[in-house]
Amino acid sequence: MQILLAEDDDGVAAALVEVLYDHGHVTRRVRYGRDVLTYHRSADLLLLDLGLPDTDGLDVLRALRAVSAMSVVVLTARGDERSVVRGLRLGADDYLVKPVRLAELLARIDAVTRRAAGPPGARIVRTVRAGDVEVDLEARRVQVAGAEVELTAKEFDVLAVLAGRAGTAVSREQLLDEVWGHAHHAMSRSRSLDVHLTQLRAKLGRPELLTTIRGFGYRFGDATDFGD
């Protein structure tokens, strides 16, 4: 398997590259967060340190998740619960705290890869439909009754988080984390979410599509629209 390793510590990186190689994985090691966004396409799995010299790893993860569903295992010294929760919410498939036990790391890489492959014949859903609304998550396009609706990048990001879990309630906190990240002021990102949701609802013209779940968050569509 091709692994992309984002790690700024030379000693840690060298040890990881060696043990991964011994277990049949080819690793490209990068030092900076920005390199992850340059090289992710050529890898099957990303091993991501959070304390990188240029960008916080969680910001790298959020940027990556906007463009890629690749497997991500966070590997970091940051073991506090808040960081672990943020990492998983932002889309990490697994989260390991350093110092890592190497056999466990290899087993977790295998487990994440197995899950990503899914059962034979399964494929990742890229287009979500609810009534006459169609959201293409890959192409970042939305159609209502066959007509294209123009959304801003942020409006689409909000819609994509909700449509990606269609029929399921998504908490406000999770939506804020995924679209705005923790770098922004809590009050301003909260206001920003309200503004974007209002715009989104107006542009889509389907008030029943984005349901507010009082005191919790939002849901795209109705659970009954999507089976199960």
Residue 205 interacting with Ca ion (CB under 5 A): no
Residue 79 interacting with Ca ion (CB under 5 A): no
Strand partners, 78: none
Nearer Cβ to Ca ion, position 8 or 59?
8
| Residue 39: CB minimum distance to Ca ion, A | 18
Nearest Cα residue to 53 out of 19, 81, 13? 13
**In a 10 Å sphere around its CB, with 0-12 CB exposed, 13-18 middle and 19+ buried, how is residue 6 labelled?**
buried
What would the two tokens of residue 22 be?
Answer: 């011994």
Nearer Cβ to Ca ion, position 49 or 177?
49
Burial letters for 12-44: b for 16+ Cβ neighbours within 10 Å, e otherwise?
A: bbeebbeebeeeebebebbbebebbbeebeebe
Nearer Cβ to Ca ion, position 8 or 44?
8
Residue 8 interacting with Ca ion (CB under 5 A): yes
What would the two tokens of residue 99 be?
Answer: 């110092």
| Residue 159: CB minimum distance to Ca ion, A | 34
Nearer Cβ to Ca ion, position 70 or 77?
77
Question: Which of residues 14, 18, 51, 188 is near Ca ion by CB under 5 A?
Answer: 51
Question: Which of residues 4, 17, 48, 49 is near Ca ion by CB under 5 A?
Answer: 49
What's the rounded Cα separation, in Å, for the pair 205 and 45? 39
Is the Cβ–Cβ distance between 88 and 73 less than 8 Å? no
| Residue 28: CB minimum distance to Ca ion, A | 17
| Residue 47: CB minimum distance to Ca ion, A | 12
Torsion-angle region of 173 (φ positive above 0: left; ψ -120 to 50: alpha; else: beta): alpha
Nearer Cβ to Ca ion, position 10 or 110?
10
Nearest residue to Ca ion, using CB?
Answer: 51
Name the residues that contact Ca ion, by CB under 5 A: 8, 49, 51
